[in-house]
Amino acid sequence: MSAEMRDVAMQLAYVAASVLFILSLKWMNSPQSARRGVWAGVWAMILGIGGTLLNPAVAVSSLPWIALAVMVGGIIGVPLSKVPLTAVPQRTALSHAFGGLAAGLVGTAKYYLWIHEGGGNLTTFRMFAISAEVILGFLTFTGSLMAAGKLQEILPGRPITYRGQLIVNFLTLGGAIACAIGLIINPQWTFLFPLLIILSLAFGVMLIIPIGGADMPTVIALLNSYAGLSAVAMGFVLDNTLLIIAGALDGSSGLILSIIMCKAMNRSFSNVLFGAFGSPQEDAGGEAGKAVKSATAEEAAEIMEQADEVVIVPGYGMAVAQAQHRVRELYDQLTKRGIRVRFAIHPVAGRMPGHMNVLLAEADIPYEDLVEMDEINPELPQVDVVLVLGANDVVNPAAKNNPKSPIHGMPIIEADRAKTVLAVKRSMKPGFAGIDNELYTMDKTLMVFGDAKAVVGDMAKTLAGDSGMH
């Protein structure tokens, strides 16, 4: 195949891949078409890789190195893909880390290659693109590693803060930007480039350590945006249209998702990035000393059996216990009795956007029975029983009632307005925000202590053993 034909084939592959990337995002907006969206993204990547291999600039001698890189990537990537759904947030963070590292290394390689060739290729625009690629890539790399460490509990989930932290952070970022400006003015000031890398890596760490576990869903989305933007810069450096398009889609979707998450928590970007939300509070406004009422799984099942409507609020505790299939069994037993069962989904329940939706979809819970927070809240005063499964901050009335609470103003699922609340938890340990939940000490609330999978399983068995119909 001639070089001209290879170039045409490459461009056609890139056009097709770009269309598929756009369709992938569109289809993943709905659970009904999400699987199609995933496959569209897979084929887009295959076309993108195939098109790149057709690039006349890719030398035949480079193919063995490319094959080796693909092999190494597969050896690392395949095990990472086989993680439980509870580990998907930290695996996603690792994916962002690898993406950022790739962008940073490509930018570094191109800079030193062009310097070695005399620096003539380092135009003002290219140096700007390389600087943006390196800053965004390396801060995404270390920031994502820190996020993964917090989610995996290798690192403390609480915010790590110290006096003068914001000043240090801004000076670090300002130093990286100053190095970038110096390189744009004169690319031959090579001593600035290692400093640019070091400051970018350091800023990624410093950006994430003051952020608490409650904000991890937003942080994951934000890091996704950074990774996408670094890919855009890489596309300009490599003169690759597909990278620019795919990176722009990734960056913009991550940014939009971050905005949605912040809105769901009634918080600003600055508050998420610099507010140290999620740290233990001395004055949380809770009633830690107040006794709680408890019930057995069997007693809870009997209460639900007498209800006309049950609303289940899933949380990260359900994910940790891998209880979604037992929840499906409970759902089946309740609906057999003519009891209406729905699931109230909070936008930031779990540790990444859509976490609960994915878990419930895995258990084949009908999507029409999943209801968003804003839709379910007005109906909760008429609901007989709300069953809270491992959720904490997203149902804490302190968000509405206590101005001193660190979560005050955050929209919640208003489970406290239901007639009866059943809360399944391992213990009275606070959630991500580190504060006590006022819901658990209310007179209408019964605590059912234990592993969510075991407790819900016992509930379903109790109902299955009762032949009487509702």
Catalytic residues: 393
Encoding tokens for residue 200?
């970018």
What is the Cα Rg of the chain in Å? 25
**How far is residue 251's CA from residue 247's CA, in Å, rounded to a whole number?**
6
| Closest to 231 measured CA to CA, from 25, 48, 59 | 48
Q: How many CB atoms lie within 10 A of CB 109?
A: 12
Which DSSP string do the residues of 356-405 spell out, in sequence order?
Answer: HHHHHHHTT--GGGEEEHHHHGGGGGG-SEEEEES--GGG-THHHH-TTS
Which DSSP string do the residues of 220-266 spell out, in sequence order?
Answer: HHHHHHHHHHHHHHHHHHHT-HHHHHHHHHHHHHHHHHHHHHHHHTT
Three-state secondary-structure class, residue 420:
strand
- Burial of 334 by CB count in 10 Å (0-12 exposed, 13-18 middle, 19+ buried)? buried
Angle subtended by helix axes 34-53 and 241-264, to nearest 10: 150
Q: What is the sign of the dihedral through the CA atoms of 404, 426, 208 and 400?
A: negative
Cα dihedral 327, 328, 331, 335, rounded to 10, equals -170
**How far is residue 394's CA from residue 10's CA, in Å, rounded to a whole number?**
48
**How far is residue 431's CA from residue 218's CA, in Å, rounded to a whole number?**
17
**How far is residue 347's CA from residue 162's CA, in Å, rounded to a whole number?**
31
Total residue count of the chain as it appears in this document: 470
| Closest to 284 measured CA to CA, from 385, 380, 392 | 392
- Given the structure tokens 């019930």, which residue do they identify? 295
- Given the structure tokens 């003519």, which residue do they identify? 338
